[in-house]
Structure 1
Amino acid sequence: MEERPYWLAWSLIPGIGPVVLKRLQQRFGTLSSAWSADSGTLGAVTGIGAQTLKTIQKHRQSTNPTDLLAQHIQKNPSFWCMADQAYPRMLTEIADSPPLLYYRGQVQLSENQGSTPMVGIVGTRDPSEYAKRWTRKIAYALAKRGITVVSGMAEGIDTQAHLGCIEGGGRTIAVLGTGVDMIYPPRNQGLYQKIEQQGLLLSEYPSGTQPNRAHFPRRNRIVAGLCRALLVMEAPTKSGALITAYQANEYNRDIYVLPGSLDNPRAMGCLGLVQRGAQLILGIGQLLDQLGAMPPLSSAPAPSISEIPSTLPSVQAEILKTVSQLCQQSGDGSVPFDLIVQSVELSAGEVSGEILQLELQGLVNQLPGMRYAPNS
């Protein structure tokens, strides 16, 4: 069954956030199965209380997910849900990954699959000339090295990061706290247009979503989640950039900071990050060497199963063969659970049980984001 309508339908229900959505997927196998589940079973899922359950019942009675998707696409033609193979692989590793991700611009699947490295650059909206100069120089150098620069298109450090990358002929991704059709701040209209032509605009919010203070901390987690490493160029002790750094640390991303002066209050947050173990940026060459030392994410096809054990039950043998074939066709050697269900004539619950048996026998491995690969 097509899963996109159900990802959309569930994500629009108040009280159902990214973490609860993942719990639903883990409990029922697919969100389409969760949509048809009885209220008692849904209510047993952690995070779904009595009031949320009433809201779910109301939405299920009034919503046809297929019709909802058709209407949604008219205003939002380009988006990924977590069931899509094109959904950014790095985001599948974080607990609160956005269920839907809207985009505008030039998509490169190598970025989504994790084979093109991405580095985030963040900092204050009111930086010193020193921080602006070094941000632009570093972003330019990253672009020349083929590294995609990710930032939030805010004033200050974000703007300098995007501009430096564009000047270096590279790709840059702007993660927005508005819909991808909104230009904010308005003075960045020219930058928005350049990014749309040479990079990508991303948001978890649908078209027409206006700026809202609550959106920007949530936007920051996407910047942190997308990247292999995060550079904090200048940040006071109370700064959205520090929130991004703390989230990046939770996601096990490498964090680097530009050294600042003790006389500069806008650098105090960076000095605090150094105390917490962040690495200092001591020069462009040194930084590029350190970033280049990060082990690449594997993009090689998964090994095929050359011989299926003869003692394996026929249902498990079919699933194992399907997983192997699908992984050979994928870009990163793994396959999402939803696609396995769609490829075999079994319910999500049946597939979940049989895959568990294959895991216990060491024949398949479960990867982040409910993805699977055959065990070599």
Structure 2
Amino acid sequence: MKLQGLDAWLHCLLTDGLGPARWLALMQRWGEPEAVLAARQDDLAEILGPALARALMDTDATQPDRQAVHDWLAAGPWRQVLRLDDSDYPSGLLNTPCPPPLLFLLGRRELLQRPMLAVVGSRHASVQGAQTAESWAEALAQAGLTIVSGMAAGIDAAAHTGALRTAASSVAVIGTGIDRIYPARNQALARQLAQTGLILSEFPLGAPPLAQHFPRRNRLIAGLSQGCLVVEASLKSGSLITGRLAAEYGRDVFAVPGSIHSPQAKGCHRLIRDGAKLVDCLDDILQELRLPATPVQSPSPTPASPPADEAESRLLEAMGFDPVDADILCQRAGLTADVLSAMLLRLEMAGRLETLPGGRYQRTA
């Protein structure tokens, strides 16, 4: 029996080794999965090779996994599968080199029709970087942009958190099956995204967080968005892939500069050297995207930090905004090691500075 409708699409997705590029090549020749599966095996082999053509003809092989998708869909009204030929398939993705033929959705499908901005960055975010991502994402969403990110730890999670406070909300593109949450610490965030935002994945149910999945996820983040803001990134950060793909797709790329001494700023500085727009306030982004200005000009800690006393204020002033070690701070502030240690502890507990590797300290605001 030939497969019809969603089952034909699912069989193509679930055929091991097919992949979106080969699938799209088949669609370009035959038009739809049903026609692909009705084609002669020899004709399929011209594109796929004999072994993969035989595997594609074995429709029984994927039956259990197809049934699992139907069971997943039946478990709730916010669970959907979006097909490449659906009228509301995101136009931004449609115009990228390799749009995924199928997307699994959990949450508000209509968010895919809104203007979107990607906000991405380091998984190992500094306190200041996370605050920047959260408060800027909230303000950008208040200006009408749905915030897209990858639901990773660090900058991604902070951006989702800020945007979810607004009506524009947030879209999370994940690198696993939509029935898996990675990292596990983001369970509560994922529940909120499913309720008031949207989670989407191109991977089959149960797909684990394999390293090769995340560059594929990043191309979707870039493709969905009309621009990409990178808040913090090391030179090896996956968010640089997102920024470069966004540039290749003709999107605006923005990067927040940081200290020349911070490894988490070096990736942003490289993007800026490669042509990304340096931004140090929200209006830089809003003006470029031709959106109304917002009164929020710079990130503020959330929740607000308590005011420091006069001595602590002088210490913060002596610290500056670059990482610095305790010995240099003692010299700058004229404090003994014991007094300095107590003050640093109070400031860290108040969220006004953070401890960095190597016994260094940095202001968070």
- TM interval, short-chain normalised: 0.7 to 0.9
Q: How does 1:150-229 map to 2 (within 5 A)?
A: 150-229=148-227
Determine the structure 2 residue equivalent to 1:72. 69
| Distance (whole Å) between structure 2 residues aligned to residue 136 and residue 112 of structure 1 | 21
**CA deviation after TM superposition for structure 1 residue 125, in Å:** 0.7
Task: Give the TM-score taking structure 2 as reference length.
Answer: 0.72
Determine the structure 2 residue equivalent to 1:51. 51
| Distance (whole Å) between structure 2 residues aligned to residue 141 and residue 18 of structure 1 | 36
**CA deviation after TM superposition for structure 1 residue 68, in Å:** 7.4
**CA deviation after TM superposition for structure 1 residue 71, in Å:** 5.4
1:245-264: CA deviation from partner (whole Å, max 9, x where unpaired):
22222222211101122111
What letter corresponds to residue 74 of structure 1 in structure 2? Answer: D
**CA deviation after TM superposition for structure 1 residue 63, in Å:** 5.8
Matched position secondary structure for 2:135: helix
Specify whether residues 68 and 131 from structure 1 end up closer, same or farther in structure 2 by C-alpha distance, changes over 3 A only.
Answer: closer
| Distance (whole Å) between structure 2 residues aligned to residue 168 and residue 86 of structure 1 | 23
Matched position secondary structure for 2:210: coil
Runs of 4+ in 1 over 4 A off after TM superposition: 67-71
What letter corresponds to residue 25 of structure 2 in structure 1? Answer: R
Specify whether residues 64 and 170 from structure 1 end up closer, same or farther in structure 2 by C-alpha distance, changes over 3 A only.
Answer: closer
**Conservation of the 8 A alpha-carbon contact between 2:125 and 2:232:** yes
**Conservation of the 8 A alpha-carbon contact between 2:104 and 2:178:** yes
**CA deviation after TM superposition for structure 1 residue 150, in Å:** 0.5
| Distance (whole Å) between structure 2 residues aligned to residue 52 and residue 179 of structure 1 | 23
**Conservation of the 8 A alpha-carbon contact between 2:14 and 2:65:** no
Specify whether residues 232 and 166 from structure 1 end up closer, same or farther in structure 2 by C-alpha distance, changes over 3 A only.
Answer: same
| Distance (whole Å) between structure 1 residues aligned to residue 6 and residue 107 of structure 2 | 21
Matched position secondary structure for 1:292: coil
What letter corresponds to residue 56 of structure 2 in structure 1? Answer: I
Task: Give the TM-score taking structure 1 as reference length.
Answer: 0.70
1:127-174: CA deviation from partner (whole Å, max 9, x where unpaired):
223322221221011111121001111110001101111234431011
**Conservation of the 8 A alpha-carbon contact between 2:107 and 2:199:** yes
Determine the structure 2 residue equivalent to 1:20. 22
Specify whether residues 64 and 166 from structure 1 end up closer, same or farther in structure 2 by C-alpha distance, changes over 3 A only.
Answer: closer
**CA deviation after TM superposition for structure 1 residue 233, in Å:** 0.7
| Distance (whole Å) between structure 2 residues aligned to residue 224 and residue 282 of structure 1 | 21
**CA deviation after TM superposition for structure 1 residue 8, in Å:** 1.4
Q: How does 1:91-130 map to 2 (within 5 A)?
A: 91-108=93-110, 111-113=111-113, 116-130=114-128
| Distance (whole Å) between structure 1 residues aligned to residue 15 and residue 62 of structure 2 | 13
| Distance (whole Å) between structure 2 residues aligned to residue 143 and residue 273 of structure 1 | 24
**Conservation of the 8 A alpha-carbon contact between 1:143 and 1:171:** yes
Matched position secondary structure for 1:56: helix
Aligned length: 285
**CA deviation after TM superposition for structure 1 residue 6, in Å:** 1.9
**CA deviation after TM superposition for structure 1 residue 54, in Å:** 3.1
**Conservation of the 8 A alpha-carbon contact between 2:153 and 2:183:** yes
Matched position secondary structure for 2:17: coil
What letter corresponds to residue 28 of structure 1 in structure 2? Answer: W
RCO comparison, higher one (Cα < 8 Å, 6+):
1
Matched position secondary structure for 1:44: helix
**Conservation of the 8 A alpha-carbon contact between 1:18 and 1:97:** yes
Specify whether residues 38 and 193 from structure 1 end up closer, same or farther in structure 2 by C-alpha distance, changes over 3 A only.
Answer: same
**Conservation of the 8 A alpha-carbon contact between 1:19 and 1:95:** no
Determine the structure 2 residue equivalent to 1:87. 89
**CA deviation after TM superposition for structure 1 residue 34, in Å:** 1.4
**CA deviation after TM superposition for structure 1 residue 292, in Å:** 2.4
**Conservation of the 8 A alpha-carbon contact between 1:89 and 1:112:** no
For structure 1, list consecutive stretches of 5 or more residues without a partner in the other structure.
Answer: 295-376
**Conservation of the 8 A alpha-carbon contact between 2:122 and 2:234:** yes
Determine the structure 1 residue equivalent to 2:258. 260
Specify whether residues 85 and 68 from structure 1 end up closer, same or farther in structure 2 by C-alpha distance, changes over 3 A only.
Answer: farther
User: What do you get for the CA RMSD once the two structures are aligned?
Assistant: 2.3
Determine the structure 2 residue equivalent to 1:345. none
Question: Does 2:208 align with 1:232?
Answer: no
| Distance (whole Å) between structure 1 residues aligned to residue 43 and residue 182 of structure 2 | 43
Match of 1:7 among 6, 9, 29: 9
